Structure 1
Amino acid sequence: MDDFFTKAAFSFFIAFGVVLGGALLAGMGSVFLMMPPKVKMLQVAGNLKIWALVAAVGGTIDPIRVIESHMIEGYLSPALHQIGYILFAFLGAHLGTELVQWMCRNGG
């Protein structure tokens, strides 16, 4: 069970970091190009949300295959672990997006 929480935490922080880092770097790029960063940061954060989830759970369709193959065979534990990793990654991506929105709302 400890291994599950370790992997779930990594999924959360990877997805969070992809969204937050991408949005912040897009904001920096906007400043260099003399464009308002707020609009670009919000747009990038929204667009990166799904890709952050994909990156956090492995970047391939393998987690979905694990869920399918184990559910068909009747083994629920590995399938539930994969679903948990996906949920933690989604939570990280969502909180990263919310943080970017909060920064853009309160920063300017």
Structure 2
Amino acid sequence: MDKEFISTLIMDFFVAFGVVIGGAIVGGIGAFLIGKPPLSTINDLATGLKIWAMVAAIGGTFDAIYSIERGIYDGSHIDIAKTLFMIFAALSGAHSGGVVIQWLTQEA
């Protein structure tokens, strides 16, 4: 794997991580302002933001689907593997962000 692809995987991880952490915390501030319990709202938002964090990290789902399609029909299997690695990196980042939020809020 080349250096550029590794850096893309790292960026995907941290973008997804940041979307979950940032979205949940800013949403918790909003919950506090309207009188809802902020910690449980932060935990709920972190759970709901995981899929959107993955989509944001890989740059939209249509590019990933097109890359997989190109790999299947054109016989370029490396495109399928790279796309799956990118999705896994984004999934790992989103899950890690959710785990950190659960750890901070102490809700299971």
Q: Same fold (TM over 0.5)?
A: yes
Q: How many residues align?
A: 106
Matches within 5 A, 1:7-46: 7-46=8-47
Q: State how far apart, in whole Å, the 2-side matches of 1:30 and 1:58 are.
A: 29
Matches within 5 A, 1:68-87: 68-87=69-88
Superposed CA RMSD? 1.3
TM-score by length of 2: 0.92
Q: Percent identity?
A: 38
Deviation at 1:3? 0.8
Structure 1: segments with no counterpart, 5+ residues: none
1:11 alignment partner AA: D
1:6 alignment counterpart: 7
Within the alignment, does 1:67 sit opposite 2:37 as a pair? Answer: no
TM-score by length of 1: 0.92
After the TM superposition, which parts of structure 1 deviate over 6 Å for at least 4 consecutive aligned residues?
Answer: none
Structure 2: segments with no counterpart, 5+ residues: none
Deviation at 1:66? 0.6
Deviations 1:38-76 (Å, cap 9, x if unpaired)? 111111111110000001001241111111211222211
1:52 alignment counterpart: 53
Deviation at 1:34? 2.3
Deviation at 1:4? 0.8
Q: State how far apart, in whole Å, the 1-side matches of 2:9 and 2:76 are.
A: 20
2:102 alignment counterpart: 101
Q: State how far apart, in whole Å, the 2-side matches of 1:74 and 1:67 are.
A: 10
Deviations 1:52-103 (Å, cap 9, x if unpaired)? 0001001241111111211222211122111111100000000001110110
